[in-house]
Amino acid sequence: KAGVTQTPRYLIKTRGQQVTLSCSPISGHRSVSWYQQTPGQGLQFLFEYFSETQRNKGNFPGRFSGRQFSNSRSEMNVSTLELGDSALYLCASSEGAFAGELFFGEGSRLTVL
C-alpha cells in the first residue's frame, strides 16, 4: 500500500501570497488531519476531515483553511502568507473509526520570504 503522499515537498512564497498544499491519504483511509511543525511551537494541530466534513479545528487564524474531496484527498490553503507561516506542514491519515494511529506523510516545507 502506498503511504500518505504530500505535494509539493518544498515551496517558497512571498508575504501576502497564498498557497495550496495537497495530501493523498493511504488507500481506504477516510480521515485526514493536518499539522504545522515549527522549531518554536513543535507540532500543532490544524484541522481534521472525515468524509468531506471538518470534524475538528485547531487554534489557527481563518487564513488557514482546508477541504476534503469525495476520494478522501485533502487540500489546505493558507492565504495572505506571513513570515511566521514558514513551517513543515504534515498531513496524516487514519481509517477514521478511531483517530489514534495516524500515518504521516513526509510533509510540505513552506518558506515564506
Contact (Cβ atoms closer than 8 angstroms) between residue 25 and residue 72: yes
C-alpha cell belonging to residue 97: 473509526
Taken in order 82, 109, 18, 65, the sign of the CA dihedral is: negative
Q: How far is the CB of 28 from another protein (least distance, A)?
A: 16
Contact (Cβ atoms closer than 8 angstroms) between residue 96 and residue 31: yes
**Binding region for another protein (CB under 8 A):** 4, 31-33, 35, 42-45, 48, 50, 55-56, 58, 90, 92, 94, 98-107
Q: How far is the CB of 80 from another protein (least distance, A)?
A: 25
Q: How far is the CB of 55 from another protein (least distance, A)?
A: 4
Q: How far is the CB of 89 from another protein (least distance, A)?
A: 10
| Choice between 14 and 69, CB closer to another protein | 69
**112 vs 67: CA distance, rounded Å:** 22
Q: Which of 112, 92, 96 is nearest to 24 (CA)?
A: 92
| Choice between 42 and 62, CB closer to another protein | 42
| Choice between 4 and 78, CB closer to another protein | 4
